Amino acid sequence: MTLAAGSRLGPYEILAPLGAGGMGEVYRGRDSRLEREVAVKVLPEHLAANPDALVRFEREAKAVAALSHPNILAIHDFGSEGGIAYAVTELLEGETLRRRLEGSVLGWTRAVEIAVAMAEGLAAAHSKGITHRDLKPENIFLTSDGRVKILDFGLARVATPAAGAHDAETMTEPGTVMGTPGYMSPEQVRGESARAPSDIFSLGCVLYEMIAGRRAFSRNTASETLSAILRDEPPEMAGSSRQVPAELQRAVTHCLEKNPGERFQSARDLAFALKAVSSSGAVPSPAPDKGIDSIAVLPFANLSRDPEADYLSDGLTESIMNSLARAPGLRVMPRSTVFRYKGKETDPQEAGRDLGVRAVLSGRVILRGETLVVSAELIDVTQQSQLWGERFNRKFADIFAIEEEIAGKISESLRGKLSGEEKKRLARRSTDDSEAYQLYLKGRHAFYKRTVGSLQQGLRYFQQAIERDPDYALAHSGICDSYALLSFVGVLRCRDAWVKCREAANRAVALDEDLAEAHASLAAVRACADWDWQSAGKEFRRAIELNPGYWQAHTWYAILALAPCGRHEEATAEIRKGLELEPLSPAVNHHAAMLFLASRRLDRAIECCRTALEFDPNFALAHVWRGMAYEGLGRFDEAIADLEKADQMFGESFPGSRAALAHALAAAGRRGEAERILEGLLRRAEDRYVDPFWLAYIHAGLGQADPAFHCLDRTLDDQGVTVIMLRYPGLDPLRQDPRFKKLLARLGLPET
């Protein structure tokens, strides 16, 4: 039975489902009397007629109602209506500890904070004679504002005064095992009565898992796990990727004693011991030395329960990387390399060894309305120690301060105290409007995908950012770049797009003369729209001077300004630099493939396309360039297969893929098919814009020089960005015609 939104249980309106477990289905609800949102837990239909289940459900409500502690879920009401038993509790926003552990690692200091809160909550329960009996990460909730809550007292043992030492109210039959394998105490495994020390054992299992990154008693089957709890000791935590204080290791061992009498005898004692560990300070880690000169910032995990929030976790990762890249003497692993780890459970220690860096930063992001929770941990890979870790619980408007603090703390941890000028470079920002910044991050996230739809979406986000902050230079640069790429794929007429590109690029440079992205955007306009190759080179070099790590400045310089002028050696040097900065980036590799096509290094072009597709199989442009390269090598079947794949992926959005396919078909002797594609594009051009370059490309493949030159003249009239492709092998049939030399002269380009 599922309750529909809008249905009611007494005074409570059901709004939406939140989740389900063995003992209940939970819904977001609204208390009409007090006008507040609550959580409504309903006994499932298959248990509603079970007297034992009803007793347990009511027992949990009574057990929680008997408690009033900030670390225990608060219950507001309990009732039954229409045969449906329900309990009403406070509504929590955040995530379970289980989900938190699945997202990324915990630093030992944060693990201790959580364990202290758990111990204090248990102390309150134990003082009322209540034993939880099912403590595990699934039943620990971390709220968005930093609190820790113990959930689910469905298996609780309540010792009444009359029962004395016996739990008469909830007595379990001897030999009955209750709990969750992996977190049960030895006495629970044996079916004996479970008292306070049993919860302490379970808390020790949870604390061990938080610190070591693995479960204390994990075997292939449940029966083997239960046997391990009775007989085995957990592996040493020192074997994990994090160094922890000896006092903390002793505390965990003390929790996990097989004999209940040898454990901490009260949760208060455990809380006191853990607080002492925390107050003693962090593990003394080796002083940062000159060898710590490299770092990998792993993609921050998006734990917001909304995949659309990836823009924030990705954007925060990139912003921190960009800030650290400004710190002198610090090598920061490129985006394309570290983003291989996105969405994967990654041990920072292992990632650091794989990437060959001395330090690794990992983190996670939760966005709930206006609340932003960011946690980060910095690991010294060689010394296997935590250099720094912190949790930020702020309003989203404080995102700039969070980024600056993380970058500053990391840089200081690795390199010592920063100078005033270094701090200023790390804290450099292009807007103070957090909403504009959020829109910019969404824009860049869409822009990176490089599909027609994502480019259009990215442009809209950049424009919205400008509406929020008209002086946001980075967003103006993003607008220019978006229009440029949309004109390349044929969505916009280039002449119209360049007007908007020029306006946005000039505005960006005027707002921030020291912004590399602004100069690179302006350089693209100078090259592709103005054909002012000298001025374009000057702007590209200025961008690289301002930010040598800005890969797009290097690769655009190569394909937009150097390669069209036949300066292939210089272009190759810039492409090589781009590949050094972002070796696995599909965008960088597709730029490299474009250069190698122009310089007739077709095997290299194929290699770059292969790399791009390994990283992103949906990067359709790589199929286009590889198909062209295969055709140039006479490998027509492979060329046609790649270009048909690209055409399927683009559909109607990019005429270039269809034109390249027609060219390859003509080269393979399938002239009729090529002509049919040409006819289709000509009909399409009657209703919507088609860059005449692609029509010229097909005519060249068919050996039709006159219409080819007619279309190339129209491309120049339209200021088509595709003029950068005039040196591609597909136009070789036209190259000896005097009209081709006139085209180059009109563009101000040399003949060779």
Q: Which residues are catalytic?
A: 134
Cβ burial, residue 323 (10 Å; 0-12/13-18/19+): buried
String of DSSP letters for 198-261: HHHHHHHHHHHHHHHSS-SS--SSHHHHHHHHHHPPPPPGGGSSS---HHHHHHHHHHT-SSGG
The helix/strand/coil state of 148 is strand
String of DSSP letters for 577-597: HHHHHSTT-HHHHHHHHHHHH
* Sequence-separated contacts (24+) of 399-402 with Cβ below 8 Å: 399/316, 399/372, 399/434, 399/437, 399/438, 400/429, 400/432, 400/434, 400/437, 402/316, 402/372, 402/374
Asked if residues 363 and 376 have their Cβ atoms less than 8 Å apart, the reply is yes
Query: How long, in residues, is the chain?
Result: 752
d(CA 501, CA 462): 13
d(CA 483, CA 507): 15
The first and second tokens of residue 374, run together, are 């960011």
Please count the other Cβ atoms lying within 10 Å of the Cβ belonging to residue 178. Answer: 15
Chain centre to alpha carbon of residue 30: 33
Using CA atoms, how far residue 680 sits from 488, 489, 677, 706, in Å, is 20, 17, 5, 19
d(CA 187, CA 380): 40
Asked if residues 197 and 263 have their Cβ atoms less than 8 Å apart, the reply is yes
Tell me how many degrees the CA angle 29-34-35 measures, rounded to the nearest 5: 55
The residues near 384 (Cβ < 8 Å, ≥ 6 apart) are 241, 242, 243, 349
String of DSSP letters for 604-645: HHHHHHHHHHHH-TT-HHHHHHHHHHHHHTT-HHHHHHHHHH
Residue 682 identity: L
What single DSSP character describes residue 567?
Answer: -
What single DSSP character describes residue 564?
Answer: G
Phi-psi category of residue 5: left, alpha or beta, with phi > 0 → left and psi -120 to 50 → alpha: beta
* Sequence-separated contacts (24+) of 393-396 with Cβ below 8 Å: 393/144, 393/145, 393/146, 395/370, 395/371, 396/367, 396/370, 396/371, 396/372, 396/434, 396/438
Please count the other Cβ atoms lying within 10 Å of the Cβ belonging to residue 330. Answer: 17
The first and second tokens of residue 236, run together, are 């040493």
Query: Nearest-CA neighbor of 89 among 145, 29, 143, 148?
Result: 29
CA dihedral 368, 369, 371, 377 (to 10 degrees): 40
d(CA 434, CA 432): 6
